Amino acid sequence: MLAHGGPAALASPIAVELEVSEERDHRVAAVTISDHGLPFDPIAALAVPRSAPTCLAEAKPGGLGLPMIRKFSDRLQYRYDQGRNRFTFAVKWRDDER
């Protein structure tokens, strides 16, 4: 569900691109997500503090996507270009790390 970004984001499709490449001694998988929403830099966005629930019934959805992407990505890049947010996150691995 698209909850942020304004009317332009709701009226335009979101693009998702996946690129897998090789760099020196490792491979890289990069995902780029772009939309026509209001400018929003997910790299500079402040983390929203969350209290840990004491049981599953108290858990509330939302707010974990950016922290997970930040934690597990090797590279993050954001730019606002031609009216579109473009956010790329990438992970790298070596074939011998299986």
Q: Could you tell me the residue ranges of all domains in the chain?
A: 7-97
Q: Is the pTM of this model over 0.85?
A: no
Assigned token pair, 72: 């597990």
Average pLDDT, the chain: 87
List pLDDT tens digits, range 10-53: 778 899 999 999 988 899 999 999 999 999 999 998 877 777 78
